[in-house]
Amino acid sequence: MQRILSISAFVWIFCWSATAQTDSLCYIGEISITGNKRTKDAIILREMQVRTGDTLPLDQLPRLLEESRLMLVNTALFTKVDIYYKDWEARNNRVHIRVEVDESWYIYPVPVFDLADRNFNVWWVEQKRSLQRVNYGLDFSHTNFSGNNDPLKAKIQFGYTRKYNLRYTLPFINRKKTLGIYSYIEYAQNREVNYATEGNKQLFFRLEDRFISQRFRTQLGLNYRPGARTFHYAELGFHQNRIDPIVADSLNPGFFLDGRHLQRYFSFKYEFTRDFRDIRAYPLNGHYLRAGLLKDGLGIFSDRNALTFTIRYERYLPAKGRWSAALMADSKYSLIRQQQPYNDNRALGFGQVYLPGYEYYIADGPDMLLLRSLFRFKLIDRTLKFGKWVPLESYRQIPFKAYVAMNAGWAYINDPFASRIGNPLNNRPLWGGGPALHLVFFYDKVLLIEYSFNHLGEKGLFLHLNMNI
């Protein structure tokens, strides 16, 4: 009769058996997969750190299978991943491995209700919760279009920004499953535009009777994945941006530089990534490195000429018991030392590049250095069970974790072309931080509730949400 043993139980029994043998190697006889109704077996096997026919030291097997489980979790295709040993033959150290998965819900026809501002805090406090600064529409995502982990995303959006976009990614196009392609196209319009920065705050101008900003871009990329944790990306893009003459003539001639109303350019980007994090959306162990070079303007048009180097490094350190720590560094450096258009000179305060306590501010500049540290204590680690009253089977059980944390960060934005009087946070050290509560649902839905201070003596409660859809 076949028996299914957990990793720890199997290793104890198998190691006890191996002590009586001179050979401590094991042989992977078979890998079977259950629970994947849409995802192809090849996609799951691609993430496994062991292969059928492998011969490897027995004491390395638990680590490799745990790495395999985390790699599968990081695909975001599954709400649950378990890897078991199913039978072993002591006579020849042959092992059968079984992978059991519960698939995520892949189709998300999600109504769009997004805030146009940089973060929730700016919209709630500075923009006084204005519904005029809300985007609405339909965001359709199929995260596993053909079962090959190939996301297809389309958006139709109205409100503050009228936007239409389409993106498709095919993770591999060759037999070795190392080369993939992706494409993206977008068109957007706005009646309001952020035309300048003063006091490290965005200044806006709006016309109700017409759109004053139009943007079009398209990109075609190639990705190369020679190993499970190594990625190379090469991307060619075309950008066309148009601004109403009133902005360039009266408000900020430097918006596109030299009073231009139209900006067109081609771009080329190369990016290299090494990712050894355990859970990418909320890591507790491992490290991450991303370095890239972006050339805006390839000589076909004269509207842009920039060459920017960026690098990001993260280190996650599990400590004793429920404690863990993290260190992060993010930087950019402009290799072409000349004034860039205002619209393309962002540094701090957008997306994930923020300093705790400075959510209400931005800093522009060609160079940036951001350092952050984080100490955490895990309060809760359990599975929330909702039973059959939840219609979608994938969401009847939700893994949930809660952490208390302490943030600290330091940043410096170098802008040799800016006046410190107009933007006092440029060209000076910045620091901020404070306590926080982190809530993690499934493996990739993260809510950060942070109470932060800054060097100005300001303090406040700030929210950050990452749904990873």
**pLDDT digits over 365-389, tens only?**
999 999 999 999 999 999 888 777 7
Q: Report the topology of domain 4-102.
A: Ubiquitin-like (UB roll) (3.10.20)
Question: Which single residue is written with the structure tokens 């706005």?
Answer: 190
Taking the model in full, what pTM does it have? 0.78
Q: Are 341 and 304 in contact (CB under 8 A)?
A: yes
Strand 213-227 to 230-243 pairing: antiparallel
- In the structure, what pLDDT confidence band is assigned to residue 440 with cuts at 50, 70 and 90? very high
Q: What are phi and psi of 350, to 5 degrees?
A: -125, 135
Q: What is the pLDDT of residue 468?
A: 62
Highest mean pLDDT among 14-18, 145-149, 422-426, 448-452: 448-452
The CA-atom distances, in angstroms, between 157 and each of 123, 162, 176, 189 are 19, 5, 38, 10
Q: Tell me the percentage of the chain whose pLDDT exceeds 90.
A: 59
Residue 261, Cβ density class (10 Å: 0-12 exposed, 13-18 middle, ≥19 buried): middle
Portion of the chain with pLDDT greater than 70, in percent: 93
pLDDT of residue 40: 87
pLDDT on residue 420: 52
pLDDT of 48 > 70? The answer is: yes
Question: How much is the average pLDDT of 88-100?
Answer: 84
Q: What 8-state DSSP symbol labels residue 455? A: T
Q: Is the pLDDT of residue 134 over 50?
A: yes
Mean pLDDT of 10-32: 61
For residue 325, name the pLDDT band (cuts at 50, 70, 90).
very high
Flag whether pLDDT at 246 surpasses 70: yes
CB atoms within 10 A of CB 419: 10
Rounded to a whole number, what is the largest CA-CA distance in the chain? 86
The yes-or-no verdict on residue 253 having pLDDT over 90 is yes
Whole-number pLDDT of residue 22: 39
Which pLDDT score, from 0 to 100, does residue 46 have? 86
How high is the pLDDT of residue 17? 45
Spatial CA neighbour of 340 closest among 310, 366, 363, 302:
366
pLDDT (0 to 100) of residue 324: 95
3-class DSSP state of 395: helix
Cα–Cα distances (Å) from 425 to 264, 291, 429, in that order, read 31, 26, 8
Q: Is the pLDDT of residue 14 over 50?
A: no
Helix (H/G/I), strand (E/B), else coil: 385: strand
Which residue's entry shows tokens 């959006």?
A: 157
DSSP SS3 for 248: helix
Joined tokens for residue 25? 């190697």
Average pLDDT over residues 131-144: 88
**CATH among 3.30.1330.40, 2.40.160.50, 3.40.50.1580, 1.20.1250.20 for 107-466:** 2.40.160.50
pLDDT value, residue 353? 92
List the domain boundaries for the chain: 4-102, 107-466
- Contact call for residues 141 and 165 (beta carbons, < 8 A): no
Residue 66: Cβ-neighbour burial (10 angstroms; 0-12, 13-18, 19+):
middle
Alpha-carbon torsion 335, 337, 340, 342, what sign?
Answer: positive
In this predicted structure, which of 14-18, 33-37, 67-71, 224-228 has the lowest mean pLDDT? 14-18
The structure tokens listed for 386 are 């909702």
Is pLDDT at 306 greater than 70 in this prediction? yes
Q: What is the mean pLDDT of the chain?
A: 88
Helix (H) or strand (E) holding 110: strand 107-115
- The answer to whether the CB of 154 falls within 8 A of the CB of 172 is no
Query: Would you say residue 10 has pLDDT above 50?
Result: no
What's the full length of the chain, in residues? 469
- Phi, psi (rounded to 5 degrees) for 273: -135, 135
Q: How far does the chain reach from its first CA to its final CA, in angstroms?
A: 43
